[in-house]
Amino acid sequence: MATGRNIRTYFEGRWHDGDVAVMRAADHGSWLGTTVFDGARQFDGVTPDLDAHSARVVRSAAALMIEPTLTGEQIAEIARQGLRAYNPEAAVYIRPMFWALDGDESGIVPRQGATGFALCLEEIPMAPEGATTTLTTTRFRRPVLEDAVINAKAGCLYPNNARMLAEARAKGYGNALVADALGNVAETATANVFMVRDGEVLTPIANGTFLSGITRARHIANLKADGVTVRECVLTFDDFRKADEVFLSGNMSKVTPVLEFDGTKYQHGPMTKRIRALYMDWAHTAG
């Protein structure tokens, strides 16, 4: 089932209206999960960091041993062509995808040169500026590279995210604050995480257990350019309990304020509002 509406799909070299079937039953990606994707956004007539998201899906494919058939530049241009069918002000989710079609003689390793590609556009509204969430802990953790392909935005990683979210929702919370293999905070089930304490912005160091997001990097750059101290460091759950503000960072909503972590309350504070304003100012200038 689609998440959004007004869907267009680029597949086999041309655009199609609607949610087109793109996989066969025997595709390697269908039965062994060799799929990667990325997500960019159009809103208010801009497509911030579209080139970066398009380039990352190519890197993700290579990390999953899928031979990419397009460059990031080609993917971004396909997306821009498809977006011409939408109102420039429409909020559109841009999702390029690669998957393996065949396996080698083992059936397990993707065969080089046998790669599927599709790009899906669908209208999904941006979250309202005041939309917030809450956090709890989860027993599920982020893996390391030796356990999973955490250096790719791979579909096979998302069932673990779903377990985290389901557990959090069963406890009455909106999302989960997730630990890495050592028990330090990595991110949440769906997005990177930041905290604010004594005027500084802190975020878990990118230690290879989670995908360090493009929007995360954009927030760090914007804050530093605005004179705010930002530190990437090892952070514990206790650090988050002592925070003044907490917010999530991701492509879908850009900035999501957190109001609670397991009983610890936060304000939707001035730094979180400032970060969102900085992002929107940058996006409307550079996007």
Q: Walk along the chain (287 residues) in steps of 10 and give the mean pLDDT of each run.
A: 87 97 96 97 96 98 97 98 96 98 95 96 92 97 94 96 98 98 97 97 96 96 97 98 97 95 96 96 89
Q: Is the dihedral of CA 130, 190, 62, 96 positive or negative?
A: negative
pLDDT of residue 287: 64
Tokens representing residue 15 in the block = 């655009």
Cα gap 7→270, rounded to integer Å:
37
Cα gap 46→4, rounded to integer Å:
19
Query: How many Cα atoms within 13 Å fall on the side-chain side of residue 109?
Result: 7
Q: What is the pTM of this model?
A: 0.94
Where does the chain show beta strands of DSSP type E? 5-11, 14-17, 35-37, 40-42, 92-100, 115-123, 133-137, 175-179, 185-188, 192-197, 200-204, 230-233, 245-250, 254-261, 264-265
Tokens representing residue 229 in the block = 């101290």
Tokens representing residue 248 in the block = 């999530």
pLDDT of residue 129: 85
Cα gap 139→178, rounded to integer Å:
8
Separation in Å, CA 227 to CA 53, 106, 201, 222, 284: 27, 54, 11, 9, 20
Cα gap 29→236, rounded to integer Å:
37
Tokens representing residue 209 in the block = 């257990």
232: three-class secondary structure by DSSP: strand
pLDDT of residue 286: 83
Tokens representing residue 77 in the block = 């241009």
pLDDT of residue 3: 82
